[in-house]
Structure 1
Amino acid sequence: MEKRRKVANPLALAVLAWLVAEPMHPYELGKRLKETRKDRSVKFNRSSLYMVVEQLRKAGFIAEQETVRDTQRPERTVYRLTPAGRDELYDWMRELVAEPRREYPHFGVALSLLSVLPPQEAVELLTRRLAALDAEAAEIRAEMAGATEGGVQWIFLIEEEYRLAVLAAEQRFVTTLTESLRQPGYARAWHDMFGREP
């Protein structure tokens, strides 16, 4: 069963994970999230990152370690992980890895209502979606190849492997669905149901 977290934003989990390695300030956290492309899995902007850092501080999961003064930059507060933060990180990670969670992607909603679209239009739209999925998969493969050639270990690319697997499953699903929608029997049934030409 899913636990109720003091700070439930996935960005908070990413912050805790990066602070395991070493203390750092929010600007550095954001920079590393972008450099390692974690921003593809965890959406954030500067203000949301600072907000999550403050929530984690209030919850006692991180603490101020020092304030760095640099003449060329404004003051920056460096944060470190607390023992409670370390416990929260590992408990949360164990839950997310071990327990499947019901998610509600927008495509699932569209599929549940797909029958309102005329079959031919649904086929055209799904064909466009399949082309977009193919392009996304090609982009991920190219980025992974570049990262691997650059010496990045496979474990740091595992979320991209997962994205590829999910994309491949969706590509297969959309291909099969498109073929089913092209069947004359479906077009007749749709016409009978909605009373207009497919």
Structure 2
Amino acid sequence: MQTDLENYSKEQIFNLAYNYEYKGILIYSNFKNISIFDEILVIKQNGVQLLKTTSEQKNYKLENQIHQVLNPDFIDEKLIVAINYELELIKFYESACKLIKDDEQDLFFRLWATSSNEYIPALKSALNSLKFDTQKEQINGVWLENSQIQNFLDQATKIANGDASKEDINALVNHPNFSFFGGVAAGGLVGMLINEITKEKK
């Protein structure tokens, strides 16, 4: 859903913000009865309400887009999906805050800061702190070492943040579980970048 915002009106940018946040509601609503997701969901719902209230004050019409969201079975997969969604959201707000300079920018900045400073660190910490009974985790029939999960996430995050070198990109493409993790990340910013990397590699 990431796009060039320069030719968008404030109302259109506001609608994008609403839909990004609404997509988060759908994602976290699927991940029920897990405390970290439940806590983020409550805050996300408050953020969406703030967007609705501001839209009424500005006479903006909000329109829900159709969102397809992943709902994997395993906690580590859920965390990866959530992290990739938040990375995509952060990139959107970085662009939006450069174009909007009034009170809407303040609202966008607060939502951006919450995602960047609260959600991402909490989700990464949860992923890092996962403890398994053995050295490996079986995911969709594939046995993976815990370090493989974090290694892939670190490499993908570098690319999403624009900090990756050519060696980092090659390492990601040649990751032994590239296809599996690419599927998990699909739909998020990293997923789109992976698709582009795959095209270039071919």
> By the TM > 0.5 criterion, same fold?
no
Which structure: greater strand fraction? 1
TM (norm. structure 2) is: 0.30
Larger radius of gyration: 1
Larger RCO, structure (CA 8 Å, separation 6 or more): 2
